[in-house]
Amino acid sequence: MRQLVLKPRDSRIAAVLLLLLALALVYFLFIHWWFVAPLRQVDAQMAELRDTQSRYAAAIAEKPQLQRRIAELGAGQAASAAFLPEADPSAASAGLMQRVVDAVGTHTAGGGCEVTQKMPLPNPPEDDNSPYRKAAVSISLRCDMEPLVAVLNALEQGTPYLFVDDLSLYRNPVAAQQGNQPSLEVQFTLSGYVRPARTPVAAPPAPDNGADNGEAP
């Protein structure tokens, strides 16, 4: 069998290629995965932190404008006609019952309608995290369909904003037995919100003038 004999030039080229392959293996096995890759990962994390820091810095720079905007919205909200005009939920409940009486008295076309019962519901406990205070009343009506629709529309479509919940309807069996046109017995809960109370701004503490009066610090 003939042995393959390389020329000196080919031997040098083969040696150089083997050396490069060995250096590449040494680099990837002992340098890249142990030093270069972790450093690149740290560099990527630092770039992400710099981006996050720049976004937070931009948000902090906008804080005064946001605070002014929130104050403007709060002032407009406190003066909004969407809230009940009364100052506390108890007075607001009385106002809600009167609104129902007025709406029933106004919308009488197309049949009869009367308030058979009205009473305030217990005020929910105040939540320190909520700026709104709710007032609610329980209402019972005896109405024909046409005035009932008009009354409900008048309550929910106007201002201040009122909310009709837990609505239940059923026919009056007594009226049906008497041969009269059966009216609807209606029960629902009517609620609204009292405008947020303005929190008074605390006065800054008075400076300590003890040192000026000759008192010991």
Q: Is 215 inside a domain boundary?
A: no
Instruction: List the pLDDT tens digit at each of the 217 positions of the chain.
Output: 455 566 777 777 777 788 888 888 877 777 777 777 788 888 888 888 888 888 888 888 888 887 777 776 666 555 567 888 888 888 999 999 999 999 998 887 767 889 999 999 987 666 656 667 889 999 999 988 889 999 999 998 888 889 999 999 988 666 555 555 567 899 999 999 887 665 444 444 444 544 444 444 3
Q: Is 201 inside a domain boundary?
A: no
C-beta separation of 124 from 186 below 8 A: no
Q: What per-residue confidence (pLDDT) applies to 194?
A: 87
Cα dihedral 176/149/159/193 (nearest 10): 50
CA separation, residue 216 to residues 3, 206, 207, 210 (Å): 106, 18, 16, 7
Residues 189 and 93 both lie in one domain = yes
Q: Is 78 inside a domain boundary?
A: no
Question: Could you give the number of structural domains in the chain?
Answer: 2
CA separation, residue 139 to residues 87, 96, 143, 162, 212 (Å): 22, 10, 12, 13, 67
Q: What per-residue confidence (pLDDT) applies to 103?
A: 92
Look up the domain containing 165 and give its range: 89-194
Q: Is 211 inside a domain boundary?
A: no
Residues 55 and 93 both lie in one domain = no
CA dihedral for 16, 18, 19, 24, sign (positive or negative): positive
Q: Is 212 inside a domain boundary?
A: no
Q: Is 76 inside a domain boundary?
A: no
Q: Is 204 inside a domain boundary?
A: no
Rounded to whole angstroms, the Cα distance separating 6 from 18 reads 15
168: domain CATH number is 3.30.70.60
C-beta separation of 50 from 56 below 8 A: no
The pair of structure tokens assigned to 97 is 């019952």
